[in-house]
Structure 1
Amino acid sequence: MNIDFKHIQSAHCENGVTTNLLRFHGYDFITEPLAFGLGSGLFYIHIPFISISNGPAVSFRTMPGAIFKRTCKSLGIPVEHKKFSDAAKAKQYLDNQIEIGNPVGCQVGVFNLTYFPVEYRFHFNAHNLIVYGKDGDSYSISDPVMETVTSLTEEELQRVRFAKGAFAPKGHVYYPVNIPKPNIELLRKGIVKGIKRNTRDMLYVPGGIAGVKGIKFTANQIRKWPTKLGDRRAALYMGQIIRMQEEIGTGGGGFRFIYAAFLEQAAQHLQMDKLMHSSDDFTRAGDLWRAAAVEMAGVYKNRLVGQEAYDKIADMLVEISETEKMAFTKLSKIKF
């Protein structure tokens, strides 16, 4: 059975799953930027005591799953989440949802996604896609980061749904339930709440490894890497940041551009021109992240060497931290 499902490509997987599922249920006004902003998706954290693929654990977005939960909550939409210890029960549950015509979001591991280019497959278990149909042994897949729909066999889907390691999905499925009629007033309130929550998370999160302070923490670490790690390992660490920034769901620069687009759309829904000016601030932050990624790539590919190269990148991250601090501080002073 295949559900009449419209696939819309997005820059980031969870944004896309959220947007596509809600639009399937009649929320035609939802866009990827709105989902990202309602979900307060913009974030930064560098966790020094965790390693991912033998490199630094950095993230440019909020915790996996939060965007979907927060967006639906803002719109008054209940959600259902299920995880499983038994793969056979997970498969049966998914098949039942498809049978009743309900597309569902699934958390999966990237490493064994057969339709991904080989260079994008590594051990990362917080990718999101939608399963919307089944024909024999083949599941119909809407992966928002892909241009068109695709498919996975039963065996392939089970493998990625039960990938091992950090953030193991455990067959996680999620979807909206008891969907109310779209309410534009709830959207407006959700926009304001999303902005305030994101401002709090980036400016006032405790500790020194998250928010704008976390970006400076990474800058300080980068300065130490050549001496502490040696040239080869330091370059590999730099490559890890590039991967987390630019390849996993758009990462640093891309998320800032999405947030800028959210503020533009928020300005229209709330009739507040001040938000348009804030949008420009986040576009600048995105540009700075992209420029930093170019420098990092130079180090990773051994075109740029020595302490000076690392110091330059660290200085760029300090500038990014100050830029985002200024942008969120301006947002915090807007009276809604």
Structure 2
Amino acid sequence: MEKRFEHVQSAHCENGVTTALLRHRGVEFITEPLAFGMGAGLFYIQIPFLTVNNGPAISFRTMPGAIFSRTCSALGVDVVRKKFVSEGSAGSYVDDLVSKGIPVGCQVGVFHLPYFPQEYRFHFNAHNLIVFGREEDRYLVSDPVMEVTTSLSPPELSKVRFAKGPLSPRGQAYYPIVSGEIDRATIQKAIAKGIKRNVRDMLHIPGGFAGVKGIRYTANRVRKWREKLGVRKGGLFLGQIVRMQEEIGTGGGGFRFLYAAFLQEAYDYIPDDTLLSISEDFTRAGDLWRSNAVKMAGIYKGRTTEQSDFDEVADRMMEIMEVEKKAFARLSSVRLQK
């Protein structure tokens, strides 16, 4: 009997797709926090000299697709992933999979998703959803950021799968192949691997604009934006950070709370009380990001526009950097494996 697909609502699309696809394949223990942590999803980067929607190119998470691939790899799960040149072949590929009862993840652009509220339709091409069936002329869609499943017509699905611009998905489709049971030892190793990679990415990545050094990089630029760009454009740049942090799928403060939840769940497999203590550090970082977003939004809306307001935002970012730096340093000293 074919297994019924279960929709998973999540805080972030790729975490939700990863969780739902693996659960469908029998990996019942997986949760959104575990997928995010095993996939070393927490990150920060501001890419110099690159703009997105006329603002700074900032991300609070690792590169699109990495969470799914890393989580599956750590658990010994094979991944099938394909990109396409033609919309016809991309559509036929998904048709073939759903006809066999295989739910498939798709990377899409959100700007033309008809079920998204208009205010959330940005030119952002790293959104993820699952096509899990077809009824007459509609694809059945599980979008993890939505409360319930929805549907798209073939032209609608094709349009978002071949959205133009940065991170163009090129019809990308993917799904896992699970062979056998995943034992507790494998889960422990996957958790340890994810933590070690996140420590490396946040503390030891080369360059000065990624990891915790990237937070300092942005803070130093925020201090100069009012004088260099003017109040209006400087405010728009801060608004862009808020958008990338809170509205588009790059995570922001919410990802810090999610990582705190991961460490709490990791404790069930690696019972070291230090993990619970460090979890509190990431909750604090999330609170600081969220409160700073409120301050940045005030500048963007013109309520507070003095240099001291820009400085306050920068100071809060430096405080966040120190919290996350110390938290990851503490994580690096935890004995994760026997």
Question: What is the TM-score of this pair, normalised by structure 1?
Answer: 0.98
Q: Which moved more, 1:175-184 or 1:218-227?
A: 175-184
Distance 1:170 1:276 in 2: 41
Distance 2:92 2:201 in 1: 39
**Cα displacement (A) at 1:230:** 1.2
**Aligned counterpart, 1:57:** 57
Does 1:126 pair with 2:115?
Answer: no
SS in 1 for 2:11: coil
- Post-superposition Cα deviations, 1:120-145, rounded to whole Å, max 9, x if no partner, equal 00100000000001112111000001
The residue type paired with residue 227 of structure 2 is T
Contact 2:59 2:250 (C-alpha < 8 Å) held by counterparts: no
Distance 1:202 1:292 in 2: 20
**Aligned counterpart, 1:187:** 187
Does 1:255 pair with 2:293?
Answer: no
**Cα displacement (A) at 1:184:** 2.0
Contact 1:108 1:162 (C-alpha < 8 Å) held by counterparts: yes
SS in 2 for 1:76: coil
Contact 2:260 2:279 (C-alpha < 8 Å) held by counterparts: yes
Pairing 1:171-182 to 2, within 5 Å after superposition:
171-182=171-182
How many corresponding residue pairs?
A: 335
Contact 1:3 1:98 (C-alpha < 8 Å) held by counterparts: no
Contact 1:77 1:179 (C-alpha < 8 Å) held by counterparts: yes
- Residue ranges of structure 1 left out of the alignment (5+ in a row): none
Distance 1:87 1:213 in 2: 41
Question: What is the TM-score of this pair, normalised by structure 2?
Answer: 0.97
- Residue ranges of structure 2 left out of the alignment (5+ in a row): none
Contact 1:3 1:103 (C-alpha < 8 Å) held by counterparts: no
SS in 2 for 1:327: helix
Contact 1:253 1:285 (C-alpha < 8 Å) held by counterparts: yes
SS in 1 for 2:59: strand
**Cα displacement (A) at 1:178:** 4.7
| Structure 1 stretches of 4+ moved >4 Å | none
SS in 1 for 2:191: helix
SS in 1 for 2:85: coil
**Aligned counterpart, 1:219:** 219
Distance 2:329 2:232 in 1: 39
**Cα displacement (A) at 1:273:** 1.5
**Aligned counterpart, 2:164:** 164
Does 1:151 pair with 2:151?
Answer: yes
SS in 2 for 1:270: coil
RMSD of aligned residue pairs (Cα, Å): 1.1
The residue type paired with residue 204 of structure 1 is H
**Aligned counterpart, 2:328:** 328
**Aligned counterpart, 1:19:** 19
The residue type paired with residue 140 of structure 1 is L
Pairing 1:76-115 to 2, within 5 Å after superposition:
76-115=76-115
Distance 1:265 1:63 in 2: 24
**Aligned counterpart, 1:204:** 204
